[in-house]
Amino acid sequence: MIPVPLSTLIFIFLALGITVVCALWFWTFIRERRRETHRRHVAVQCRICSTAYLRDPKDKNAVTICPVCNTPNERTRLRPI
Ligand SMILES: [Zn+2]
């Protein structure tokens, strides 16, 4: 068995804890960023009534009809809040 001083053991556990917390934070950040990118890829915001609705990602048509006001909308990026 390797003798380890208590201060070294505490430092190792603190370093492991900080590493785990940073890794989880980074993983959550990347996951949320991917979800937001996907949402912005499939969402269309109406230029008249500002309703955000989903479009069919397989539909290659660039113009979609708003389900609320029936206005044709071209797919553009959603404005950030
Ligand atoms: Zn609309």
CA of 26 to the centre of ligand 1 (A): 37
Encode pLDDT of 63-77 as tens digits.
Answer: 889 999 999 988 766
Q: Where are the domains of the chain?
A: 6-74
Higher per-residue confidence, 77 vs 50:
50
Strand partners, 54: 43
Whole-structure pTM value? 0.57
pLDDT at 21 over 90: yes
CA of 60 to the centre of ligand 1 (A): 20
CA of 37 to the centre of ligand 1 (A): 22
The CA–CA distances, whole Å, from 52 to 11, 16, 20, 27, 75 equal 50, 43, 37, 28, 11
3 state SS of 52? strand
Q: With the CA atoms of 11, 12, 13 and 19 taken in that order, what torsion angle do they form, in degrees rounded to the nearest 10?
A: 110
